[in-house]
Amino acid sequence: TGNTYSGGTYLNDAAIDVMDDGVLGAVPAEPTVNIVAQGISQIRAKNGKAQLTLHENRGIYIARDAVFSFAGDRGAYQVTTTVNGPVSGYGALISAEWAGGGKAGIVELNGDISAFHGIYFPMGILRIPDAAQISPRARIHFGEMDENDTGVGEGIIETSGVIDRRGGCEAGVGVWG
């Protein structure tokens, strides 16, 4: 904790174990992109920590073709990550992990997410306080393919309001399986 570097954190095909928000350097004075994810990148709550909260001024940008996720380390699946800052970009956001047996990681997006036009891929519980914040250009993808190429439904979105998406594969749709 207490890192004082500034300029943000850039993850490119990398994972970082985080004990608390202070590990990610100085908090910006106002909401701005402070974490950039490229490639396949992940922020993990370190040492089985059950709660990780990111500051409201620490924005996250997920680059086009990037896959970014939150998780626990050492098999700790029941981690709650609260993102209070804005999330933007065009990549894929995988929310936590689902371990089965009722064990789900939780990602709570409390900041402005209206500029995230990528793919939400809930693999645990994704909390969005107001469904109206979800960009109409963002895709929502439920389920994954297992080793037999059969759709295995995973993931829950907890929100208030209505998520209105037609099925399909292009921007702004819902995908199951």
What CA–CA distance (Å, rounded) separates 90 from 71? 20
pLDDT digits 0-9 by tens, 81-121: 899 999 999 999 987 665 555 556 789 999 999 999 999 98
Q: Which pLDDT does position 130 carry in this prediction?
A: 93
Alpha helical stretches, state H, the chain: none
What CA–CA distance (Å, rounded) separates 63 from 92? 9
**Which stretches of the chain drop beneath a pLDDT of 50?**
145, 148-152
Closest listed residue to residue 27, CA positions, set 56, 51, 1, 53:
56
**Assigned token pair, 150:** 């059969």
What CA–CA distance (Å, rounded) separates 168 from 177? 11
The bridge status of strand 98-100 relative to strand 103-104 is antiparallel
Q: Which pLDDT does position 163 carry in this prediction?
A: 81
Give CA separation, 96 vs 8, 34, 41, 123, in Å.
Answer: 22, 20, 13, 6
Q: Which pLDDT does position 150 carry in this prediction?
A: 45
- Residues shown for the chain: 177
Q: Which pLDDT does position 45 carry in this prediction?
A: 80
**Assigned token pair, 174:** 């819902």
What CA–CA distance (Å, rounded) separates 91 from 68? 8
Q: Look up the pTM and report it.
A: 0.86
What are the residues facing 94 on neighbouring strands?
69, 121
Instruction: Decide if 71 contacts 42 (C-beta within 8 A).
Output: yes
Q: Give the residue carrying structure tokens 């036009």.
A: 117
Closest listed residue to residue 59, CA positions, set 22, 96, 31, 23:
31
pLDDT digits 0-9 by tens, 89-99: 999 998 766 55
